[in-house]
Chain A
Amino acid sequence: MLPQLILNSIIAGSIYTLVALGFNLIYSTTKFFNLAHGVLAAVGAYIVFFLAQMLGVDIYLSVVAGIFVAGFIGYLLDKIVYLPLRKRKASNMVLLVASLGAFTVIQAIIAILFSSQFQTLSRNIGFEKTYEIFGGIITQTQLIIFLCGIVIMAGLLIMFKKTSFGKAIVATSDNEEVAKIVGINTNRIIGRVFFIGSAIAGLAGILVGFDTGIEPTMGMSLLLKGVIASIIGGIGSVYGGVLGAFFLGFVENFGIWQISGEWKDAIAFALLIIFLIFRPRGLINK
């Protein structure tokens, strides 16, 4: 029982890590809660569903396309909606409400195109392999989720430390005005950040789809978990998001060990509110 519980927590933590990493990346440069972030996970998953399951395109190609389309839509949202608002120095609340609008529109369009039913997304590999670790069972999909979480985290860390693009992002998030003065095209940087963050969200959505299935509203619950993970970990920092994600995964899974599973979302939000009250800057104080 206990090993399985720990494994489940780690898997949940890995999924939240992916969402939190993308969300945090965007938050750190733009400083607003982009609530449309979660729906891009659904976009990625449904693109794979459409290409692989409805048209029969090769699964790897579909995954790449799904990630790319999610990233591209995130990029477009920035250029069409958020950039004009930022130029007008709109308040965070205006941006938040606009992102709520974007979220509602995209989610509803997905429901119109693919119905609002719950559907399964298969990797076309036939029988799913399972592994046993210390008496707990983990599927191959879940192992992939865990590995993706690690790889993306490492990738972002390397990007921030080693590349000039990563340093430009850090500069933009520290102080956008100064970054502009030293010649960084901050709007272009932010546009790319939206692409990368949204692409990661798309990947998260696809992986969740393989693991449990897809429905148009999947984005919202993923987003909320990602936001909660970011805040309890320490918003705007890579490590913080990851730490928060695993913390949330453990609390949730050990919570439903005692009370029934439907209360997962309520547990997550109760945790958020406790953190907002007692430790609003999260585990890692940035």
Chain B
Amino acid sequence: MEYLIHLAILIAIYVILSLSLNLVVGYTGLLSVTHAAFYGIGVYATAILATKLGVSFFVSILIGVIVSSIIALAVGMILNRFKDDYYALGSFGFNVIIFSIFLNWQDLTRGPLGIPGIPRPNIFSINFSENLIFLMLVVLFAVLVYFISCFVVDSSFGRVLKGIREDEKALQVFGYNTHHYKLSIFVIGGAIAAVAGSLFAAYISFIDPSTFTLNESIFILAIIILGGLANLRGSILGAIFLVLIPEILRFVGMPNEIAAQMRQVIYGIILMLLMLYRPQGLIGEYKL
């Protein structure tokens, strides 16, 4: 039972991450491979604020979101100058830079040693150290993010985003400042990813930089491509699939070290097969 709750929590966290990335990649057509960086900013915000300053969890979420938004704003302004594959490459670069900040700014992040002892949230005398109750909190956030995403894509703002994806020039002709739209959605995506990070930090209680490498960004990208670009339910489906599939390996008795690598083999193969045979993913509405 504990194990199932653990998986459910992970799935909910990845649902938050993939929904937010889908807004950027699926709806707006910006191939961003830097999502793990914003995820990591949320994680470190909560970890540092909670362990060093004893800030409450919910305040730390807010601060994580603000920091992540500011950085996303700066990164987005630079990335907006690029298109398609150069965009992907530039976003790659930011993931590496932000990862090296996590790794090397040792006064703040303790570098490779990581930060242990991150407390679970505590509010209105509800004890979130019980995993089941924490799961409810994470699911609550995931549902909230789902509805925010629905609201974003169904609004007129969302329709402009899809327009940018299909034909940016045409929208510019109609007088839309596409630059601002692209920047806004990138910031929204980064902010939501930071929420997932805060939840992850509080859940796992020990964090180190190795979680926020490029591989994690590729993993989140694999989730949304598998589920389907520009389809919110697809992201949920993708997160469930890609979190659960590697768990099967554990049941066939594979040692942990190898299972972790097999996980990468599996999602790498899934990425290749999808590109070859079904670039729109399971239920996607947009092909890269």
**Chain A contact residues, CB within 8 Å of chain B:** 32-33, 81, 84-85, 90-98, 100-109, 111-112, 115-116, 220, 224, 227, 231, 260, 262-263, 265-266, 269-270, 272-273, 276-277, 280
8 Å CB interface, B265-288 against A: 265, 267-272, 275-276, 279, 287-288
The answer to whether B276 touches A105 (Cβ under 8 A) is no
Extra contacts, 18 of them, besides A33-B85, A94-B275, A101-B271 (Cβ < 8 A), are A91-B288, A93-B84, A95-B275, A97-B31, A97-B275, A100-B268, A104-B265, A108-B263, A112-B265, A116-B261, A227-B89, A260-B104, A262-B104, A263-B100, A265-B97, A266-B96, A266-B97, A273-B90
In chain A, what residue has the closest Cβ to B273? A101
The answer to whether B221 touches A107 (Cβ under 8 A) is no
Closest 10 A/B residue pairs (Cβ): A101-B271, A104-B268, A105-B268, A269-B93, A108-B264, A98-B275, A101-B272, A108-B261, A262-B104, A266-B100
Assess A97 versus B225: contact at CB under 8 Å? Given A263-B100, A266-B96: yes
- Chain B residues within an 8 Å CB radius of A106: 268
- Chain A residues within an 8 Å CB radius of B222: 101
Tell me, yes or no, whether B215 is within 8 Å of chain A by CB: yes
CA distance A81 to B276 in the complex (A): 7
Closest chain A CB from B31 CB (angstroms) = 5
Closest chain A CB from B2 CB (angstroms) = 28
Closest chain B CB from A262 CB (angstroms) = 4
Closest chain A CB from B271 CB (angstroms) = 3
CA distance A101 to B96 in the complex (A): 18
The answer to whether A90 touches B268 (Cβ under 8 A) is no
CA distance A106 to B261 in the complex (A): 10
The answer to whether A97 touches B265 (Cβ under 8 A) is no
**Chain B contact residues, CB within 8 Å of chain A:** 31, 33, 78, 81-82, 84-86, 88-90, 92-94, 96-97, 100-101, 103-104, 214-215, 218, 221-222, 225, 257-258, 261-265, 267-272, 275-276, 279, 287-288
- Chain A residues within an 8 Å CB radius of B221: 97, 100
Closest chain B CB from A109 CB (angstroms) = 6
Q: Which listed residue, B84, B89, B258, B268, touches A103 by the CB 8 Å rule?
A: B268
- Chain A residues within an 8 Å CB radius of B288: 91, 93-94, 97
Closest chain A CB from B13 CB (angstroms) = 21
Q: Which listed residue, B81, B94, B101, B287, touches A277 by the CB 8 Å rule?
A: B81
The answer to whether B268 touches A224 (Cβ under 8 A) is no
- Chain A residues within an 8 Å CB radius of B258: 112
- Chain A residues within an 8 Å CB radius of B101: 266
A-B contact pairs, 5 of them (CB 8 A): A100-B271, A101-B268, A265-B96, A272-B90, A272-B93
Assess A270 versus B269: contact at CB under 8 Å? Given A104-B218, A262-B103, A262-B104: no
In chain B, what residue has the closest Cβ to A231? B89
- Chain A residues within an 8 Å CB radius of B276: 81, 84-85, 98
In chain A, what residue has the closest Cβ to B100? A266
The answer to whether A263 touches B268 (Cβ under 8 A) is no
- Chain A residues within an 8 Å CB radius of B214: 220
In chain A, what residue has the closest Cβ to B270? A101
Closest chain B CB from A230 CB (angstroms) = 11
CA distance A108 to B272 in the complex (A): 15
Closest chain B CB from A36 CB (angstroms) = 10
- Chain B residues within an 8 Å CB radius of A231: 89
CA distance A91 to B88 in the complex (A): 13
- Chain A residues within an 8 Å CB radius of B81: 276-277
The answer to whether B84 touches A111 (Cβ under 8 A) is no
- Chain A residues within an 8 Å CB radius of B275: 81, 85, 90, 94-95, 97-98, 101
- Chain B residues within an 8 Å CB radius of A94: 275, 279, 287-288
Closest chain A CB from B54 CB (angstroms) = 30
The answer to whether A32 touches B85 (Cβ under 8 A) is yes
CA distance A93 to B275 in the complex (A): 10
The answer to whether B265 touches A108 (Cβ under 8 A) is yes
Assess A98 versus B93: contact at CB under 8 Å? Given A105-B264, A276-B82, A277-B78: no
The answer to whether A262 touches B93 (Cβ under 8 A) is no
The answer to whether A102 touches B268 (Cβ under 8 A) is yes
Closest chain A CB from B34 CB (angstroms) = 11
